Amino acid sequence: MRRPIKVRWDYMVLLFSIWNAVIIPFDQAFDIKYLTQGSKLSDALRIFDYTVDFIFIIDLILGFFTSTTDRKGFITFNYKDIASIYTSQFRFYADFLSVFGSGWFE
C-alpha cells in the first residue's frame, strides 16, 4: 500500500511534468523569456521554473531511497538493491534527463 504523501508527491511531479511538456516547446517556439523580459511575469516564470527543476532534483534523489519491488516481486528496503533496480529502469533515465537534459535545448 502506498502512503498518501508518496501519492501526492507523484501527482505533483506529474503535474510539473505536464507543465514542462507544454511550456518548454512553447518557450522554444515563441521565446517567452524574451517577450516578457523585465516584467513581473518573467520573474515569476523564472522562479517557478527553478522550483520545478528543484522538485525534479529532489525526485531523482528520492528515487534512490524509495522502496521498490525486486525481480521476484518482493518489496525491498535495501538501499543497494533499490539503487541497482532504479538505475536499471527507464524511470531513472527519464528523471535524469528531466533534471540535467533541459540545458541542451537552450
Q: Give tens-digit pLDDT for 17-61.
A: 898 888 888 877 877 766 666 677 777 888 888 898 899 889 888
Report the pLDDT value the prediction gives residue 12, as an integer from 0 to 100.
93
Write out the H or E segment, with its range, that includes residue 76.
strand 75-76
Band the pLDDT of 106: cuts 50, 70, 90: low
Residue with cell 533541459: 102
Candidates 101, 106, 63; CA nearest to 82 is 63
Candidates 93, 64, 96, 94; CA nearest to 81 is 64
pLDDT above 70 covers a percentage of the chain that reads 86
Query: What would the mean pLDDT of 55-71 be, rounded to a whole number?
Result: 85
Residue with cell 521554473: 49
- The grid cell for 58 is 529532489
- The grid cell for 60 is 531523482
